[in-house]
Structure formats: structure tokens, C-alpha cells
Chains A and B, each alone.
Chain A
Amino acid sequence: MRGLLIRDLRLAIRAGGGFGLGLAFFLIVTVLMPFGIGPETGILTTVAPGILWIGALLACLLSLDRIFALDWEDGSLELLATSPLPLEAVAGIKALAHWLTTGLPLVAAAPVLAVLLNLPAQGFGWLIASLAVGTPALSALGTFGAALTVGLKRGGLLLSLLVLPLYVPTLLFGAEVARRGAGGLDALTPLAFLAGLSLLALAVMPFAAAAALRVNLR
């Protein structure tokens, strides 16, 4: 299992592996938002938590089809399926690799980008917490979506259509945490819900994704 994880991490970090792309996209989206909304500081401060969360979510979304696509194309997914490693574990490792190479960097980049959007100082801690707790759910659900659409030629858009509704609760709670934190309010309740959601996603996803992979590998 560790071997698979290290292999996936190496593949992602390698040139062309898409490691920096998620971060770059996050940056671009965050910069683009004020262009669309207007530079007024008051407004930006209000919408900063939401923009950062949506930017992170979209950046996650973009890198989802890579989770299984490469292995599907060169046949290694079939090999993994027939290996002694249970497919559920494979899905779990893949999700973990995705989070480490996409989710975690987003968490690290968020405070920097939050400065651009005039996020109030008290909101930074809560922002990081919300993303740290919520991005695992994004990776887990995204892995499920990727498993459903693996092998489809233009799967990218369909993947987004399938995964974005699943992302709604995570986004709702995550952005709520960031918003309350930025407003100086206590955000523990939504954070707790968010954590519960992530745990649920992590618990359910390996089985659902493995089931989908088995169907697609038939």
C-alpha cells in the first residue's frame, strides 16, 4: 500500500504530473474574482471566504480525472484490480494521494491568497482549519466521481456535473466556518459538521469507488 502511495505521489510531482496546476488554478481564480466583482475592499472582505472555498473546490475538481485516468490508459488499473490489494484500499490510497498533492497545497496557499482578498486577520485560522478539514471530503468524493467516469473519453465535464452536487454540503459548511471565523464569531459548530461530513465521505467512498471501478473494469 505504501508503495502505491509513493508511486502516485511521485507521478503527480513529476513534470507534467499536474502538481502545480491545481495551485496555479487556485491563484488564477482568486485573482480573477476581484476583476469580476470590483475592487471595493468592503465587498471583497465579505466574499473572501466564499471565493477562497470555491476556488479551492474548483482547483480540486480539475485534477480529479487524473486520479485513475493514467492507470486506466496504460492498463495498470486492471493490474491493480487483480493484485492482492483490495480495490477499496486502492481507491483510498488514490484519494489520499490526491489530497496530499492537491488538497494540502491548497490549504497552504489559501492564507497567502486570502491576503489578496482582504480577509480579516481573525479569519485566517478558521479558513485554514475549514480547508484542512474539508478538502479530504473533496478528494474522497472526487475519487468516487472519477471512478464512475473512468474510461470515458470526454469524462471531464460529466465528472464535474456528477461531483459538484455532491460537494454542496462540504462547501456550505466549509464556507460557513470561514465566514463566521472572519466575522469574529465562533465557528466550532459548522466545523464539527464539516468534520463529520469528511469522515462520512472517507468511510463511504472506498466502497462506492471500488464498486464503480469493478463495473468499469468488467
Chain B
Amino acid sequence: MPDLGRYATEVLSAYAVTLLLLVGLIAASVWKARKVLRQLREAENRRDPSA
């Protein structure tokens, strides 16, 4: 860890918040994608079980 001097809290919190938001965005996108895909497969199965 480099010596961040007197701005250590600020800089670290900036990086932390960014990581949090980006990870959150990616996680939300993945969660929604999986959910929609699952529901779509189920609906397609109901429509045409042989597919």
C-alpha cells in the first residue's frame, strides 16, 4: 500500500465506493439476466416441450 499521506481515507473511500458501485451494477445485471433467461426457457418449454 503506497503512503497516501493525509488523504488516505478520502482516496481509499473513493476507490471503495467505485468498486462497490461497479460490482453492484455487474451483479444486478447478471442477476436480472439469469432470471429472465430462466423464465424464458420455462415459457418456451411450456409452449413447445419438445424444443
A–B contact via C-beta, under 8 angstroms:
no
The residues of A with any CB-CB pair to B shorter than 8 Å are: none
